[in-house]
C-alpha cells in the first residue's frame, strides 16, 4: 500500500535555522486562511497567525496552505506547529543540526570506502567491517581485474568508494562526487573568508584526520586515486583512456557484505565520458593539492593531460545502456559537456591557451549548459562553469560575466518554478520526478546557493534553504529523506551492508545518508506493485527493495554535503 502521509502539517522535522524563513505546508482544502499556532516544548503558545491558501498542488495532488512563522526566531527545541487541530512533528529552531549534518553527510564517504577496513574507532563497532575486494576469499579482489571484452591486461583498481547500495565503482558519478567534495574546499578559498575551520584537518573521523591536510580533500583523494588507476597504461591499446567502470559480473543479492562478495569483477570498456571525467577531476585536484603534496599534484595533472589528449583522439567512445548486468550502465550519448568541463578544469589549473580555445569553441561556452539544467553525472558543463566563476583565470571578463548571468538566470527559473509549488523543491520543471530526484533537488539548490554567493540576494538563499526543508520532511509524505535525522527518517535504504537485518546482524544506514527520493517513472517491482498512479512527489516508499526510489549514491550524498556545508556556513559557525 502507498505510504501513510501522516499529519497534514508538514515541517522540516529537524530544525529551522535562526534568522531564516520558516515555513510549513498544511494539507487543507479550505478556500480561506485558517489559524496556526506555534507552541514551545512546555506547551506555551509563542506565536500565532493565519495561513495563506495555495490551493491545488500538481506535484503532490494535495490542496495546501502555507504557514509562515518566520517572524518567530527564538532558538529552542521541541516546537510544534498546530493547524486546524493537527500537530506537526516537533522541530528545533537552531543552527546545530545543520552543522552536525555537515559532518555526517561527509562521513558517508568513509563508510563507502572499498579496499580498506572500516575501523570502529571512526564509525563505532556497529558499522565496522573488514576490507572489501582486496583478494581475501571469497572476494576475487580488485587487484587484478580483467576486461569484460578482452584487452590483454589486468588492472589493480583497489580502493575508491562503492557507488551506492551495490559494490560497483563507476567513473562518471565517482568523478562528480569527487568534484563536489573538492569544490566544497575550493569554494572556501574564494568565498568563505578568513575562517576556514569548517574544512580544516581534524573535522572528520577518518584515518587522515591528523595529516595536516583538509579532511574533505583527503576523502576526495581516496576516490581520485581509484579514478587514476582506471586509466589505460602507456604502451597498451587506448593508452590514456579511462575504463568506464568496474563491477560484479552478476548482480549480488541483498544483503551481501562487501568482503563476502564472491562474484568475478570486470572492467567495462573505456569511454570518452569517463576519460574526460577523470581529466576534469584530476586537473581540479592538481591545483588544490599543490600546497599540500606537490608530487601528487603533478602526477594528477600529468594523468589529466594525457586523458584529455586521449579523449580528443577518441571523441566518440560512448558507454552503452546495454552494459547493465551486475552493475549500472551510466550510459551517456552526449560528451560535449564533459569536453567543456575538462577543458575548464585544465584551463583553470594550467592557464594554457589550447584549453581556452577549446572552451571558447564549445557549444556550452558562456554558461549555455544551464539552459538545459544544473548538473548531474551525465550533464557536467555547469561544473566547468562553477570553476570558471570561482577561480581567477585569464578568461575574458565578458565570458565570465556571461557565465555568472547564466547561473543567476537558472536560479531565477528555479525560484519561478518553486513559487507555485506546495512543497518547494527545485526539480526538472517538467512535472516528472526522475531516479535520484533528491540529488537533483540538492544540485539545483546548490545553484541557488551559488547565485546567493554571486549576488548576495536573499531570495536565492531562501530558495536553497527551502530545498533543505523539503529533504528533511516538508514534503507530502512527511518523510525525512536523510537517515538519522528527523522524527520520520528513512530506515530501510537499499544497501547490501546497511541491510537492517531483524536479527541485528546488519545495521541501518548511518546518519547523514540521503535516499534517492521520489521517482515517478516507477522503475522497480516494489514501487510498481505499490505506487501505481502516484503523484510525482509521492512516488516514494521506504522499502529496502525499492531501489529506484530508496537507494543511496555517492553523487547524491555529495550534492547534499555541498548544500549542507553552504547552509551551515550561512547559519554562522
Residue numbers annotated as active site: 542, 551
Answer yes or no: are the C-beta atoms of 485 and 512 closer than 8 Å.
yes
Kindly determine how many residues on this chain lie close enough to bind ligand 9MR according to the rule CB under 6 A.
11
Question: Under DSSP, is residue 183 helix (H, G, I), strand (E, B) or coil?
Answer: helix
Task: Find out whether 307 and 240 touch, Cβ atoms under 8 Å.
Answer: yes
Query: Which candidate, 34, 54, 21, places its Cα nearest to that of 421?
Result: 54
Site for ligand 9MR in 35-94 (CB under 6 A): none
Nearest to 487 by CA among 150, 95, 79, 106: 79
Task: Out of 61, 76, 207, 328, point to the residue binding ligand 9MR (CB under 6 A).
Answer: 328
Region of residue 470 (phi > 0: left; psi between -120 and 50: alpha; otherwise: beta):
alpha
248 binds ligand 9MR (CB under 6 A): no
**103 vs 436, which CB is nearer to ligand 9MR?**
436
* Identity of the residue, 199 or 552, whose beta carbon is nearer to ligand 9MR in the bound complex: 552
Torsion, Cα of 209, 210, 211, 216 (10° steps) = 30
Residue 12 or 537 with smaller CB distance to ligand 9MR: 537
For ligand 9MR, the closer of residues 214 and 517 by Cβ is 517
3-state secondary structure at position 120: helix
Shortest Cβ 369–ligand 9MR spacing (Å): 18
The correct pick among 95, 147, 164, 411 for binding ligand 9MR (CB under 6 A) is: 164
Stretch of 134-142, 146-154, 159-167, 289-297 lying at the interface with ligand 9MR (CB under 6 A)? 159-167
| Contact (CB, 8 A) for 309 and 343 | no
- Residue number, 343 or 522, with CB nearest to ligand 9MR: 522
Pick left, alpha or beta for residue 424 (phi over 0 → left; psi -120 to 50 → alpha; otherwise beta). beta
d(CA 160, CA 133): 11
Name the CA radius of gyration of the chain, rounded.
23
Closer to ligand 9MR at the Cβ: 69 or 547?
A: 547
d(C-alpha 501, C-alpha 489), whole Å: 17
Q: How far is the CB of 168 from ligand 9MR (least distance, A)?
A: 6
DSSP string, 221-253: HHHHHHHHHTBPPTTSTTTT-EESEEEESSPPP
Minimum distance, C-beta of residue 381 to ligand 9MR, in the bound complex (Å): 17
Shorter beta-carbon distance to ligand 9MR: residue 265 or 366? 265
Answer for the pair 311, 241: CB distance below 8 angstroms, yes or no: yes
Residue 225 beta carbon to ligand 9MR: minimum distance, rounded to whole angstroms = 21
Nearer to ligand 9MR, 160 or 436 (CB): 436
- By residue count, the chain amounts to 573
Determine the Cα–Cα distance for residues 266 and 3; give it in Å rounded to an integer. Answer: 39
Question: What's the closest the beta carbon of residue 176 comes to ligand 9MR, in angstroms?
Answer: 10
Nearer to ligand 9MR, 260 or 329 (CB): 329
Q: Which helix (H) or strand (E) holds 337?
A: helix 336-350
- Which one of residues 477, 553, 559, 560 is an interface residue with ligand 9MR (CB under 6 A)? 553
Phi and psi at residue 431, to the nearest 5°? 85, -5
Is 235 within 8 Å of 172 (Cβ atoms)?
Answer: no
User: Which is nearer to ligand 9MR, 166 or 186 (by Cβ)?
Assistant: 166
Q: Which helix (H) or strand (E) holds 353?
A: helix 353-360
The beta strand positions in 21-177, using DSSP E, are: 23-27, 35-39, 45-50, 52-56, 63-68, 76-83, 86-87, 91-93, 169-170
Quick one: which segment of 115-123, 158-166, 230-238, 264-272 binds ligand 9MR (CB under 6 A)?
Answer: 158-166
DSSP letter for each residue of 404-471: HHHHHHHHHHHHHHHHT-SS-----SSS---TTHHHHHHHHHHHHHHHHHHH--HHHHHHHHHHHHHH
State the nearest-atom distance from the C-beta of 166 to ligand 9MR, in Å.
5
Going by C-alpha positions, the residue among 28, 24, 15, 96 that lies closest to residue 62 is 28
Site string for ligand 9MR, 508-527 (x = CB under 6 A): --------x-----------
* Region of 143-151, 161-169, 301-309, 538-546 interacting with ligand 9MR (CB under 6 A): 161-169
Least separation in angstroms between CB 171 and ligand 9MR: 12
Choose, by CB under 6 A, the member of 57, 223, 469, 551 that binds ligand 9MR. Answer: 551
* Least CB distance to ligand 9MR at residue 523 (A): 7
Least distance (Å) between residue 530 CB and ligand 9MR: 18
DSSP 70: T
Complex with ligand 9MR: residue 66 or 329, whichever CB lies closer: 329
> Shortest gap between Cβ of 173 and ligand 9MR (angstroms)?
7
- Residue 132 beta carbon to ligand 9MR: minimum distance, rounded to whole angstroms: 15
Contact map string, positions 422 to 461, toward ligand 9MR, x by CB under 6 A = -------------xx-------------------------
Taking CB atoms, the residue at the shortest distance from ligand 9MR is 328
Residue ranges in 165-184 that form contacts with ligand 9MR under rule CB under 6 A = 166, 168
Q: Per residue in 479-517, is it b (16+ CB within 10 Å) or e — as a string? A: bbbbbbbbebbbebbbbbbbbbeeeeebbbbbbbbbbbb
Summarize as ranges the residues that interact with ligand 9MR (CB under 6 A).
Answer: 163-164, 166, 168, 328-329, 435-436, 516, 551, 553
Amino acid at each position: 500500500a502507498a505510504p501513510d502521509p501522516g499529519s497534514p502539517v508538514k515541517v522540516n522535522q529537524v530544525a529551522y535555522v535562526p534568522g531564516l524563513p520558516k515555513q510549513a505546508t498544511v494539507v487543507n482544502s479550505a478556500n480561506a486562511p485558517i489559524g496556526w499556532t506555534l507552541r514551545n516544548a512546555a506547551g506555551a503558545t509563542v506565536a500565532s497567525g493565519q495561513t495563506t491558501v495555495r490551493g491545488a498542488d500538481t506535484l503532490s495532488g494535495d490542496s495546501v496552505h502555507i504557514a509562515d512563522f518566520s517572524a518567530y526566531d527564538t532558538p529552542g527545541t521541541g516546537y510544534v506547529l498546530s493547524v486546524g487541530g493537527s500537530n506537526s512533528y516537533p522541530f528545533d529552531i537552531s543552527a546545530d543540526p545543520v552543522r552536525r549534518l555537515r559532518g555526517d553527510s561527509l562521513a558517508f564517504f568513509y563508510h563507502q570506502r572499498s579496499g580498506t577496513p572500516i575501523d570502529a574507532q571512526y564509525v563505532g563497532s556497529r558499522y565496522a567491517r573488514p576490507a572489501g575486494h582486496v583478494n581475501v576469499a571469497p572476494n576475487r579482489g580488485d587487484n587484478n581485474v580483467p576486461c569484460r571484452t578482452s584487452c590483454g591486461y589486468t588492472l589493480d583498481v583497489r580502493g575508491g568508494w562503492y557507488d551506492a547500495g551495490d559494490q560497483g565503482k563507476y567513473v562518471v558519478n565517482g568523478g562528480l562526487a569527487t568534484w563536489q567534495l573538492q569544490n566544497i574546499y575550493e569554494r572556501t578559498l574564494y568565498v568563505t573568508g578568513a575562517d576556514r575551520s569548517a574544512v580544516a584537518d581534524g573535522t572528520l573521523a577518518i584515518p587522515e584526520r591528523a595529516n595536516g591536510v583538509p579532511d574533505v580533500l583527503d576523502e576526495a583523494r581516496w576516490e581520485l586515486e581509484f579514478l587514476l588507476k582506471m586509466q589505460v597504461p602507456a604502451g597498451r591499446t587506448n593508452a590514456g583512456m579511462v575504463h568506464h567502470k568496474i563491477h560484479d559480473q552478476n548482480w549480488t543479492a541483498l544483503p551481501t557484505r562487501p568482503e563476502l562478495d564472491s562474484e568475478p569483477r570486470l572492467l567495462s570498456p573505456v569511454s570518452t565520458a569517463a576519460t574526460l571525467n577523470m581529466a576534469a577531476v584530476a586537473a581540479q585536484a592538481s591545483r588544490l593539492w599543490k600546497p599540500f603534496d606537490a608530487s601528487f599534484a603533478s602526477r594528477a595533472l600529468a594523468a589529466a593531460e594525457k586523458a584529455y589528449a586521449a579523449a580528443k583522439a577518441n571523441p566518440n567512445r560512448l558507454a552503452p545502456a546495454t552494459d547493465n548486468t551486475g552493475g549500472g550502465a551510466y550510459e551517456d550519448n552526449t560528451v560535449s559537456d564533459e569536453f567543456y568541463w575538462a577543458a575548464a578544469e585544465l584551463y583553470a589549473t594550467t592557464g594554457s591557451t589550447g584549453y581556452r580555445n577549446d572552451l571558447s569553441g564549445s557549444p556550452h561556452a558562456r554558461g549555455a549548459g544551464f539552459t538545459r539544467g544544473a548538473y548531474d553525472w551525465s550533464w557536467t558543463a555547469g561544473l566547468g562553469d562553477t570553476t570558471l566563476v570561482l577561480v581567477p583565470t585569464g578568461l575574458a571578463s565578458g565570458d565570465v560575466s556571461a557565465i555568472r548571468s547564466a547561473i543567476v538566470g537558472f536560479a531565477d527559473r528555479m525560484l519561478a518554478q518553486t513559487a507555485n509549488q506546495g512543497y518547494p523543491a527545485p526539480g526538472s520543471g517538467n512535472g516528472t520526478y526522475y531516479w535520484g530526484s533528491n540529488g537533483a533537488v540538492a544540485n539545483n539548490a546548490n545553484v541557488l546557493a551559488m547565485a546567493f554567493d554571486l549576488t548576495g540576494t536573499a531570495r536565492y538563499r531562501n530558495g536553497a534553504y527551502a530545498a533543505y526543508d523539503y529533504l528533511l520532511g516538508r514534503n507530502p509524505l512527511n518523510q525525512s529523506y536523510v537517515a538519522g535525522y528527523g522524527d520520520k527518517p528513512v530506515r530501510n535504504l537499499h544497501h547490501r551492508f546497511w541491510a537492517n537485518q531483524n536479527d541485528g546482524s546488519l545495521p541501518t544506514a548511518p546518519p547523514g545518508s540521503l535516499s534517492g527520493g521520489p521517482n515517478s517513472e516507477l522503475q522497480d517491482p516494489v514501487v510498481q506493485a505499490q505506487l501505481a498512479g502516484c503523484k510525482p512527489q509521492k512516488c516514494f516508499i521506504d522499502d529496502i527493495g525499492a531501489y529506484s526510489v530508496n537507494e543511496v549514491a555517492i553523487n547524491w550524498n555529495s550534492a547534499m554535503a555541498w548544500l549542507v556545508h553552504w547552509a551551515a556556513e550561512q547559519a554562522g559557525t
